[in-house]
Amino acid sequence: MTSDQSSNDRQAIMPSDVTARLSFFDRFASRAAAFVSGAWFFAMCVLLVLIWAPSYFMFGSLDIWQLVINTATTIVTFLLVALLQNSQRRSDDAIQHQLNAIADGLADFMAHVAREQDAARLRDDLGELRAAAGLEDKEGS
């Protein structure tokens, strides 16, 4: 994402304000997240362990044998954390935009009803709802 596009997405208030364009890394992270959550990735991990387990005889040393699997799993874990965190952040942002839109629509409806009924309690609830919309920006990230 370009810096302008990135700042525009974070400034989006309604879901319609969010651009559908994703950067290369975001598309890659989405595909990687879909792949690693599937059965094929799990099967490959099981296969890795099944190949590694009898390889002790090839290395001859317990320390080297353990170092091989520890290094491989640490590298894969390190990379997957970065990819999955990207996907999770974008998912959280999308959900928050949707919740803000629902809260805004409900607040508009409550304002319309409050004008018709002149209900003080409804206006108090409306103020509370409007204060809650966008609360994630106020609480900090």
Number of folded domains in the chain?
Answer: 1
* pLDDT at 55 exceeding the cut of 80: yes
Closest alpha carbon to 90 in 19, 38, 39 = 19
* pLDDT at 60 exceeding the cut of 70: yes
> Domain range spanning residue 43?
3-139
Tens digit of each residue's pLDDT (9 = 90 or more) over 5-45:
444 445 555 555 556 678 888 888 888 888 988 999 999 99
Provide mean pLDDT across the span 51-73: 89
Choice among 49-58, 68-77, 96-105 with the minimum mean pLDDT:
96-105
Tens digit of each residue's pLDDT (9 = 90 or more) over 90-134:
888 888 888 888 877 787 777 777 776 666 666 677 677 777 666
User: Residues 56-86, buried b or exposed e (16+ Cβ, 10 A)?
Assistant: eeeeeeeeebeeeeeeeeeeeeeeeeebeeb
